[in-house]
């Protein structure tokens, strides 16, 4: 079993007997049977979860993706064409870029 | 040999679930519903909570189906999820332990009475006392030792599997189990 003492297989030491006694006593801790309806409740949870995921995808994908892509493209163009000596980006532009990056994150698959 | 084949079958079933076969999920549920619920019951001795947690385990299994890879035995993966769920629950419930434990004992006592009508009242009481002492001894173990003992004693996982579940070495698991059983031996020594 779990006895750390070195001895021949089949030979019991006092520790072996001690651990064997514990092993036997642990049998007293029986677990109750699973209640009826467990599977039905589980499948209901799975169905609810799947419905939530589907609803989220339906809400997210159609309107947001093209807008997010357009904003991201605009941000990229702005970044490429802004000369180094140009005036510092305004707070509004910084916020637009930050929003575009956030929107890009939304394009990653939900279940990844 | 037979056990190894059965484990491989479970990985195959899970791969079918990944491919969209819900019947295979039902087969896995049928096979592991009991072991998972019983493991969680012994981790957090409350039947309602253990079943709630078991449902969380199987929900996570189902949600992870698209990315499932049989890199470990299915039971290792399953019990890793179950242990994670259990440890989180134990951590969260430590804050509420004071006023809930009495309710748990009362409910469990009632459950045992319903289940053991065949025994005499005296036998039932003796059995209930022993069960409670073993339960308390196990509950007194640190959570990881508890999980290791439960997987080793009640679910039949070997050292390698338990090590994979708890993400440590086999020698660490042997040491962990030895300390756990030593502790249990001390607590249960008075039981005849």
Least confident of B7-11, B73-77, B136-140: B7-11
> Residue A9 domain-assigned?
no
Under 8 Å between Cβ of A71 and A99: yes
Q: Is the pLDDT of residue B64 over 80?
A: yes
- The DSSP line for B30-43 is HHHHHHHHHHHHHH
Q: In chain B, what percentage of residues exceed pLDDT 70?
A: 83
> Residue A5 domain-assigned?
no
Under 8 Å between Cβ of B150 and B138: yes
Chain A contact probe: residue of B68, B181, B184, B188 with most A CBs at under 10 A: B181
Of B191 and B83, the structure prediction assigns the larger pLDDT to B83
Q: Is the pLDDT of residue A102 over 80?
A: no
Of B82 and A68, the structure prediction assigns the larger pLDDT to B82
| Domain ranges, ordered by start, for chain B | 2-188
DSSP code of A108? Answer: S
Q: In chain A, what percentage of residues exceed pLDDT 90?
A: 21
Least confident of A40-49, A73-82, B105-114: B105-114
Q: Which domain holds residue A45?
A: 31-106
> For domain B2-188, which CATH number applies: 3.90.400.10, 1.10.1740.10, 3.40.50.300, 3.40.50.12280?
1.10.1740.10
The minimal CB distance from A28 to the residues B54, B134, B174 is found for: B134
Verify whether the Cβ–Cβ distance B59 to A31 is below 8 Å: no
The number of distinct structural domains making up chain A is 1
Distance set, CA A94 to CA A74, A79, A101 (Å): 13, 11, 11
Chain B interface includes A4 (CB < 8 A): yes
> Residue A10 domain-assigned?
no
- The DSSP line for A69-93 is HHHHHHHHHHHHHS-TTSPPPPHHH
pTM above 0.80, yes or no: no
Chain A residues 50-109 within an 8 A CB cutoff of chain B: none
Verify whether the Cβ–Cβ distance A25 to B37 is below 8 Å: no
Under the banding of pLDDT at 50, 70 and 90, the label for residue B105 is very low
- ipTM at complex level: 0.80
Under 8 Å between Cβ of A41 and A56: no
């Amino acid at each position: 079993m779990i006895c750390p003492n070195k001895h021949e297989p089949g030979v019991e030491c006092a520790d072996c007997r001690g651990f064997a006694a514990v092993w036997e006593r642990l049998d007293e801790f029986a677990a109750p049977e699973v209640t009826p309806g467990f599977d039905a409740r589980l499948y209901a949870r799975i169905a609810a979860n799947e419905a939530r995921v589907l609803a989220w995808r339906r809400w997210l994908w159609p309107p947001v993706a093209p807008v997010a892509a357009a904003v991201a493209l605009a941000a990229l163009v702005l970044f490429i064409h802004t000369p180094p000596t140009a005036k510092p980006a305004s707070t509004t532009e910084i916020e637009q870029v930050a929003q575009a990056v956030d929107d890009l994150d939304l394009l990653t698959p939900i279940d990844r | 040999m037979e056990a190894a084949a059965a484990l491989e079958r479970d990985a195959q079933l899970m791969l079918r679930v990944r491919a969209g076969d819900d019947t295979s999920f039902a087969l896995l549920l049928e096979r592991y519903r009991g072991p998972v619920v019983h493991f969680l019951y012994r981790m957090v001795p409350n039947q309602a909570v253990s079943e709630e947690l078991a449902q969380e385990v199987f929900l996570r299994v189902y949600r992870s189906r698209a990315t499932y890879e049989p890199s470990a035995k299915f039971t290792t993966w399953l019990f890793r999820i179950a242990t994670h769920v259990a440890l989180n629950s134990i951590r969260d419930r430590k804050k509420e332990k004071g006023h809930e434990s009495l309710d748990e004992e009362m409910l469990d006592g009632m459950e045992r009475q319903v289940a053991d009508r065949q025994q005499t009242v005296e036998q039932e009481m003796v059995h209930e006392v022993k069960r409670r002492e073993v339960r308390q001894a196990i509950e007194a173990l640190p959570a990881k030792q508890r999980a290791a003992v439960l997987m080793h004693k009640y679910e039949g996982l070997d050292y390698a599997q338990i090590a994979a579940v708890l993400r440590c070495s086999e020698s660490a698991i042997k040491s962990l189990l030895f300390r756990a059983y030593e502790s249990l031996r001390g607590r249960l020594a008075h039981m005849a």
